Structure 1
Amino acid sequence: MTEVSYFSTPEFVAFSLHVISGVELPLHIFGTYCILFKSPDSMKSVKWSMLNLHFWSVCLDWTVTFFIIPFVLFPTVAGFSLGMFNYMGLPLERQCYLFAALLCTVNVASMMLFENRYYLMAGKETMWKKFRIPVLAVNYILAFLYPLPAYLKFPEQSSALEEVLQKLPPLPEVILRHQITVYSNELIYFIIPIVFMTSVIGIETLIIGKLIHFHMNSVDLKFKVSLKTISMQKRILTALLIQTSTMAVNFLIPITYICSTIVFNYHNQAANNICFLVFSLHGLTSTSIMLWSHRPYRAVCSNLLRFKRSETTSSKGIQVVNSTVRRNTRIDIFRSS
């Protein structure tokens, strides 16, 4: 019997994602607290856009790391779930639909961060003021519509599973004892909607980025607002760019790997599992970068760490004083006797 690596097992995925969800929970709560109560007046204009992104990011995180816990057999679109939804009896095709929709809403919310900056800086004075709400609403509607082709073409399982097992190498018993579900055996219904939505959001983000760059470097802006205001806007934009770029890396690494497995028909279950671990870290890294890149939130963290350090120092000082008092008391007693 061939020995199976622990990294290839469902137990590794379940344990790792539970650990990640446990670490992320307090950080997500602290991030929400900072956005709501520690955003200064200079960040009020971006506060709700940041909260919107944080909300969808937390939803995606908990869907992956707690409610679904996916075990996927790339290069096929098949696998099973190990999370709470599985115990609740929610069919896997609905779990996949929800995951795909939330993945897109996070990207839409990321784009909205920069749209919000452009609208406040220059968009109010353009035709964009009339079209922004319908366009943003369509983006969110499309985020929940684009997974429908694959969902509606959910295959008949017995023949689809037989086809999948022929494409994969012999699977160990530790995997076969789970009920494997094939989400799609026609990749056209799976890949084309993803490419379409990625293109739409990517093009919108590039256009907004170009408009922001043009506005920030325009001569008229320097006569309308102070250099201090321009500097503040640039700092906020830089922080948002760092935050969203970090999230993009957590998305792009797994997506690049998944596409490679499909193109080269390559199966490595340990790499598949690690791929999802990298993806599930996006909320942890995004929240951490948000707290670090924005100066007001960084100050809150610094003050919190400084308070804990001073508290430890004070307790040590009290212990030293107490020990000194006890020592002096013993000396006085010895002398008096």
Structure 2
Amino acid sequence: MRVDATHNCALDIMSNPQEIARLLAEPTNYTYNELSLIGSSCQHIHIPRLTEAEYVFYLHLITLLSAIVTAIAIYCIIFQSAPSMGKFKLCLLTLQSWTFVTDFMLASLATPRVFFPIIGGRPLGIFIKLGITVPVQLYVGFGCFGAMVASIILSFLYRHQVTVNQDNILKCNRWFQICVMIMNYVILSNALLPALFTSPDSQLATKIEILRNEACPAKDLLHPDSYVLQSSVDRLFPYFCGLVVFVGCQCAFMGLHCSWILFFSTLTTKLSKKTRKMQAKLLVALVAQLAIPTTLCYCPMAYFAITTLVDHYWQLGYWICTGTGILSSLFTIGVCWFIMNKHTLKQKTWKKLEYQMILLRVFFDVLTSITSGVYFLSSMFTLSYSEVIPFDVSFMIGLISSSLIEMRSYLAVVIAIERSCATIFSIHFFRYRKKVPNISIIGFIITMGIALCVVMFWYCELKLPLKEGCTNFNCAAPTCYQDYHAVSKTVYSSLNALFSGILCIKLVSLSWTHRNIQSDLRKANLLSLTDGLSTLTFELFPAMLFTKGIVDFNSIGPVFGVLRQIGRAVEATVMAKLM
């Protein structure tokens, strides 16, 4: 894409040192005006979102969270894992260590701000303040990431070699395994060298050429710390695709072969039932350990990188987001129906006080999943066939779904409070809990759901038909409704997290003193903690991040609803396993 002739003429003066100095003196925190080198046509793309200070703060916060999670993971691997894991502990420790080093490097030491779709960026971290050059930071950063990927291959290789029989042709000797891993570490740790060796000789000339040809480049592209790694993606794109295939083929082959041996093959008789079960659990744990960060981190990063390079307004993101929401809704409905059928019609678990509110939550999960799935589906039809299903219809379905979700969220708070009281004041709780009828709790949560509709149509005075240009509920909802919903969400999410934290501390203290907990009480507590963790991960944290405008809702789709539905699917799976 090239800019218009007027813009090109204006950019011809970029080679003037005084003009460059003037441009560098302007604010560089995503702010654009008529005096900037970016034309007014870019206002809809480059809007004020995050200042550099906020961006650096968030990345440093990621480092802190990564340090806490890494410390817990290392403690669990060393002291809480079974002795039968053997040397696999070393593989996990290596992977966890390189993961933290990569997080620390990217989030604190380098802290890059990437200039998509330009293959370049500007470091804002500790290294640039120490005077370390950008090429060195790139090499170290990608080297750490490559070592982390090689550690993943090491984990798969160990699992594969432990699983296959001694007489299998794929059973390798120790020295061959060492050579394979050395090759992976060397190749992947130095994967960026071809890009560094072929980087532009003159950074200033390359930046000026980009300004002449790119419609909406980053505002601080001419900053002395900014660095352009490649002027075009065409040269090294096949090389990096080959690296992805190289890593993917190794992990996929070893993972699929292990799965065949452990789950499907009837020819393997040398593995006892106990050993087979243990190896299967370890393989599933390894796959889950990779699937979670890949799904929640690397896939979104890859999507934003690819779609930005292709087109700023590629609608594939909307279809992926909405399709994921529909699949998550169907999965949640199936699992929750299984739980309801098993524990209400067959086992009569609902008669136990510990499970009554939890099973009511499952019932609300079914209702919210149905309405959410219908909303996602209607949104897709509205986007393609607005004359058949107007957006007003999708909006009303979304409002009904939001009301049910509000009821379910406050029910989760009630469960968290109930579980905390049951664990801390167990004798008094069961004495007085029976005096509180469930119908009063149901009335409270229904009232909180109806309040959303009252705020929408009475306080905010919403009128139909709605304004054009929105493709999801959050975009079309009035500002006063969003403010009320944000406060409400903060209240129930914070209360859920607070009482879940109290419950977690109490359970840890009971475990530390080796006190036994009744089986039903323990299961109910774990189910409540699962909901609290899901609310924190899939609702509270995304809400805090998205309110800063980092994600464009108009192009991505119903992000909040999809993330929430994924959380419900995870909860339902854990619940089915625990119960």
TM-score by length of 2: 0.44
Q: Secondary structure at the match of 2:180?
A: helix
Correspondence for 2:309: 262
Correspondence for 1:330: none
Correspondence for 1:152: 197
CA RMSD of aligned residues (A): 2.8
| Amino acid paired to 1:58 | F
1:161–1:180 CA contact under 8 A, matched in 2: no
| CA-CA distance at 1:124 after TM superposition | 4.7
Whole-Å separation in 1 of the counterparts to 2:89 and 2:135: 35
Residue 299 of structure 2, aligned match among 229, 252, 260: 252
| CA-CA distance at 1:225 after TM superposition | 3.0
Correspondence for 2:496: none
| CA-CA distance at 1:102 after TM superposition | 2.2
Q: Secondary structure at the match of 1:224?
A: coil
Whole-Å separation in 1 of the counterparts to 2:69 and 2:510: 20
Whole-Å separation in 1 of the counterparts to 2:505 and 2:162: 32
- Asked whether 1:26 is paired with 2:68, we answer yes
Report Cα offsets for 1:192-227 as digits up to 9, x if no partner.
Answer: 332121110111112112221232233343x32322
Correspondence for 2:286: 240
> Relative contact order, CA 8 A, sep 6+: which one is greater?
1
Whole-Å separation in 2 of the counterparts to 1:22 and 1:186: 35
1:78–1:182 CA contact under 8 A, matched in 2: yes
Correspondence for 2:508: 307
Aligned positions, number: 275
2:112–2:123 CA contact under 8 A, matched in 1: yes
Correspondence for 1:70: 112
Q: Secondary structure at the match of 1:71?
A: strand
Residue 277 of structure 2, aligned match among 200, 221, 231: 231
Whole-Å separation in 2 of the counterparts to 1:187 and 1:171: 17
Give the direction of change, closer, same or farther, for the CA distance of 1:305–1:138 in structure 2 (3 Å limit).
farther
- Asked whether 1:141 is paired with 2:141, we answer no
Whole-Å separation in 2 of the counterparts to 1:11 and 1:190: 33
Higher-helix-fraction structure: 1
| CA-CA distance at 1:75 after TM superposition | 0.3
Correspondence for 1:61: 103
Report Cα offsets for 1:264-308 as digits up to 9, x if no partner.
Answer: 2x49xxxxxxxxxxxxxxxxxxxxxxxxxxxxxxxxxx9866234
2:119–2:232 CA contact under 8 A, matched in 1: no
The answer to which of 157-166 and 101-110 deviates more is: 101-110
Identity, % of aligned pairs?
22
| Amino acid paired to 1:32 | I
Whole-Å separation in 1 of the counterparts to 2:504 and 2:86: 22
- Asked whether 1:128 is paired with 2:175, we answer no
Correspondence for 2:137: 95
Whole-Å separation in 2 of the counterparts to 1:54 and 1:8: 30
2:145–2:189 CA contact under 8 A, matched in 1: no
Q: Secondary structure at the match of 2:199?
A: coil
2:108–2:126 CA contact under 8 A, matched in 1: yes
| Amino acid paired to 1:209 | G
Correspondence for 2:78: 36
| Amino acid paired to 1:90 | I
Consecutive unaligned residues of structure 2, counting only runs of 5 or more, are: 1-31, 34-42, 314-502, 513-579
| Amino acid paired to 1:253 | P
| CA-CA distance at 1:89 after TM superposition | 1.0
**How is 1:193-212 mapped onto 2 (pairs within 5 angstroms)?**
193-212=239-258
Give the direction of change, closer, same or farther, for the CA distance of 1:237–1:190 in structure 2 (3 Å limit).
same
1:80–1:180 CA contact under 8 A, matched in 2: yes
| Amino acid paired to 2:159 | R
